């Protein structure tokens, strides 16, 4: 179903995110018939280009990052014809009157995507207002990093609130746009089966792993000032934790969902120093030139920034008190694998005796790759032997279970941008959520600074420092395999 007519202005329209994700994603939506033919996409950036030059740049970007050709050349030409470009100075006056002229008299939905450094958010918002483009119909989309601590996040929220109401601000966390992340809510709240067991009485612990094989690549300068805690845990892993732990919202609507997520963040326990392990990856042996170690990659031989984190926390509320949540994320690990695992407790009594061994139900929700949900159940080992038990997976791999023809693959960004146009904020972070997440993260990071903490080295292609294994082993548990 096509969305309503819209004008989308992308500040930073020539940047990496716009070329890699935003515009190829919009082209795919165009091919799927979701973009109305008169919708306009206006790139706005410092580069001295005209609309024809911009269209050429985006044609090349779609060829490079668009994945499989979404639809034919004719369609691509039609899509590109909907693009315009304005050379603009976010810190000055140049270009603003041109943009204003383009937007003047429009009675369509207006969205402004701030795909720029957060230090420019305030300047752009101020100019949008000055040039009459910040009326109550306007929607703005902002990218992470949303601050680097509570203080800066508060300041950013305050600045944006000077010009826009909260219901106009769409803070993107692209993990919320992933298919399986939404499926997590469907599984929890669309089935009777799981919810009665979803608490500390039946759940032994929960693990969330987001492992990547990539290193910091060309983003060393940004990454070295952030580290895994700010780059991944404060936002992506925190959002996954909220969805897995929150109470059922009364409705699937933005504030009902976000109220419940906020309660989870506010109930998170502080993390004790011995419940957290930081790591930094080493070079790949014999291939240092291609896969250098972290410090070389960020060009900072004394860097103490972590590229890996493993931590244990708890949620102090009636549902979860006493149930550990183990979070783990890192770069240059053994495999690319993101998974949430709910490990249920042992049965209270084994009627089959010790020989049968102890078995646990494990529900694992795989975000990527091979999206799907697996429930491990215990059955009798087939055959004439005694009552020996084994665990087998009840597997629902989406690619295998559903007819591929019926699955429409929608990238997280595509989905989220269409949600902006539809005016649906359910999958976007509210200002108070972001602040609460920083309020939990700040003391952890400050603790490292006070203790002069140095991350533990870990080998390329592994599961991180051995200390992370030791941390969970001390609790009598072990991490899920990264595959
Ligand atoms: C980004 C982080 O937000 O998410 C990156 O800044 C990380 O460091 C990326 O690589 C992971 O996203 P995905 O969708 O590839 O899992």
Residue 253 to residue 426: CA distance in whole angstroms: 6
Q: Is 72 annotated as a binding residue?
A: no
Average of pLDDT values for 359-378? Answer: 90
pLDDT over 90 at 353, yes or no: no
pLDDT digits (tens, 9 = 90+) for 412-467: 999 999 999 999 999 999 999 999 999 999 999 999 999 999 999 999 999 999 99
Q: Please tell me which residue, 239 or 380, carries the higher pLDDT value.
A: 239
Mean pLDDT of the residues in the chain: 93
Q: CA 335: distance to chain centroid?
A: 18
Note whether ipTM > 0.85 here: yes
231 is in an annotated binding site: yes
**pLDDT score recorded for residue 355:** 72
Of the listed ranges 256-265, 300-309, 410-419, the least confidently predicted one is 410-419
Residue 106: its pLDDT value, please?
Answer: 80
To the question of whether residue 380 is assigned a binding role by annotation, the answer is no
Residue nearest (by alpha carbon) to ligand 1 atom 8: 231
Would you mind telling me the total number of residues written for the chain in this entry? 483
**How far is residue 109 from each of residues 9, 169, 357, measured CA to CA in Å?**
11, 14, 61
In three-state secondary structure terms, 296 is helix
The answer to whether 54 touches 43, Cβ cutoff 8 Å, is yes
* Residue 205 annotated among the catalytic residues of the structure: no
Task: Report the pLDDT value the prediction gives residue 407, as an integer from 0 to 100.
Answer: 64
Report the separation in Å between the CA atom of 231 and the middle of ligand 1, taken as the mean of its atom positions. 8
Across-strand partners of 339? 209, 366
Quote the pLDDT of residue 408.
66
Cα 398 from Cα 378, distance rounded (Å):
22
Predicted local distance difference test score (pLDDT) of residue 137: 87
291 Cα: distance to centroid of ligand 1 (angstroms) = 18
Question: Measuring CA to CA, which residue among 159, 88, 169 is closest to residue 126?
Answer: 159
**Residues forming a β-bridge with 141:** 113, 170
**pLDDT tens, position by position, 146-156:** 999 999 999 99
- Quote the pLDDT of residue 37: 85
Mean pLDDT of 286-297: 93
Q: Whose CA is nearest to atom 13 of ligand 1?
A: 175
Asked whether residue 46 is marked as a ligand-binding residue, the answer is yes
What's the confidence (pLDDT) of residue 395? 78
- Cα(263) to centroid(ligand 1), Å: 25
Residue 5 carries which DSSP code? P
Mean pLDDT along residues 158-166? 96
Instruction: Tell me how far apart the alpha carbons of residues 113 and 13 are, in angstroms, rounded to a whole number.
Output: 9
* CA 241 to chain CA mean position, Å: 12
Mean pLDDT value of segment 226-243: 97
pLDDT band, residue 140 (cuts 50/70/90): very high
The pLDDT, as a whole number, for residue 405 is 63
Taking the C-alpha atoms of residue 143 and residue 300, their distance in angstroms, rounded to an integer, is 26
Q: What is the pLDDT of residue 68?
A: 65
Helix or strand holding residue 8 (H, E): strand 6-11
Residue with more model confidence, 46 or 380 = 46
The predicted model scores a pTM of 0.94
Mean pLDDT, residues 384-388? 82
CA 236/CA 360 separation, integer angstroms = 28
For the CA of 214, the nearest atom of ligand 1:
10
Known binder of ligand: residue 13? yes
Q: What is the pLDDT of residues 61-115, one digit of tens each?
A: 999 988 666 688 899 999 999 999 999 999 999 999 999 999 998 889 999 999 9
pLDDT class for 23, splitting at 50, 70, 90? very high
Pocket of ligand 1 (CB under 6 A): 212, 231
- pLDDT at res. 410: 82
| Per-residue pLDDT tens over the stretch 388-403 | 888 898 877 766 676 6
Q: Which pLDDT score, from 0 to 100, does residue 71 have?
A: 83
267 phi and psi angles, rounded to 5 deg: -95, 0
In ligand 1, the atom with minimum distance to the C-alpha of 331 is 10
Distance, in Å, from the CA atom of 138 to the CA atom of 226, rounded to the nearest integer, reads: 31
Ligand 1: centre distance to CA 144 (Å) = 11
The active-site residue, picked from 236, 274, 275, 349, is 236
- Determine the residue of 143, 212, 409 to mutate for testing ligand 1's pocket, defined as the one with the most ligand atoms within 8 A of the Cβ atom: 212
Q: Which domains does the chain have, with CATH numbers?
A: 6-143 (3.40.50.720), 176-473 (3.30.360.10)
SS3 state of residue 338: strand
Q: Whose CA is nearest to atom 5 of ligand 1?
A: 231
Q: What percent of the chain has pLDDT over 90?
A: 80
Mean pLDDT value across residues 152-168 = 96
């Amino acid at each position: 179903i096509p969305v309503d007519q819209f004008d989308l202005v992308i500040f930073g329209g020539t940047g990496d995110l716009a070329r890699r994700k935003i515009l190829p994603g919009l082209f795919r939506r165009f091919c799927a018939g979701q973009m109305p033919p008169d919708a306009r996409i206006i790139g706005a950036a410092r580069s001295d280009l005209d609309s024809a030059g911009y269209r050429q740049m985006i044609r090349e970007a779609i060829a490079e990052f668009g994945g499989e050709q979404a639809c034919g050349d004719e369609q691509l030409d039609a899509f590109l014809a909907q693009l315009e470009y304005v050379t603009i100075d976010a810190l000055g006056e140049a270009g603003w009157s041109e943009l204003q002229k383009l937007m003047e008299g429009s009675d369509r939905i207006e969205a402004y995507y701030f795909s720029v450094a957060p230090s420019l958010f305030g300047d752009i918002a101020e100019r949008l207002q000055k040039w009459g483009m910040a009326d109550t119909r306007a929607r703005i989309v902002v990218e992470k990093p949303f601050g680097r601590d509570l203080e800066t996040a508060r300041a950013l929220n305050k600045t944006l609130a000077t010009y826009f109401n909260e219901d106009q601000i769409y803070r993107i966390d692209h993990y919320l746009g992933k298919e399986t992340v939404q499926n997590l809510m469907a599984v929890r709240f669309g089935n009777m089966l799981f919810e009665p067991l979803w608490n500390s009485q039946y759940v032994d612990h929960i693990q969330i792993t987001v492992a990547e094989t990539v290193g910091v690549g060309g983003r060393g300068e940004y990454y070295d000032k952030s580290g895994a805690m700010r780059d991944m845990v404060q936002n992506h892993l925190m959002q996954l934790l909220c969805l897995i732990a929150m109470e059922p919202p009364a409705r699937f609507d933005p504030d009902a969902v976000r109220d419940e997520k906020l309660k989870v963040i506010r109930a998170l326990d502080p993390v004790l120093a011995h419940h957290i392990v930081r790591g930094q990856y080493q070079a790949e042996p014999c291939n240092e030139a291609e896969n250098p170690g972290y410090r070389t990659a960020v060009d900072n031989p004394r860097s103490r920034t972590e590229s890996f984190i493993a931590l244990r926390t708890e949620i102090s509320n009636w549902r979860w008190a006493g149930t550990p949540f183990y979070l783990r994320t890192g770069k240059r690990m053994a495999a690319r694998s993101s998974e949430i695992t709910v490990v249920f407790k042992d049965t209270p009594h084994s009627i089959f005796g010790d020989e049968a061994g102890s078995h646990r139900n494990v529900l694992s929700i795989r975000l990527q790759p091979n999206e799907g949900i697996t429930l491990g159940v215990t059955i009798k080992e087939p055959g004439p032997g005694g009552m020996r038990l084994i665990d087998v997976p009840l597997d629902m791999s989406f690619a295998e279970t559903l007819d591929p023809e019926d699955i429409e693959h929608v990238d997280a960004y595509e989905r989220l941008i269409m949600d902006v146009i539809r005016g649906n904020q359910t999958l976007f972070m509210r200002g108070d959520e972001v602040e609460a997440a920083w309020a939990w993260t700040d003391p952890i990071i400050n603790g490292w600074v006070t203790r002069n903490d140095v991350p533990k080295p870990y080998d390329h292609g592994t599961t991180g420092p051995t200390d992370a294994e030791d941390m969970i082993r001390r609790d009598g548990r072990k991490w899920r395999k990264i595959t």
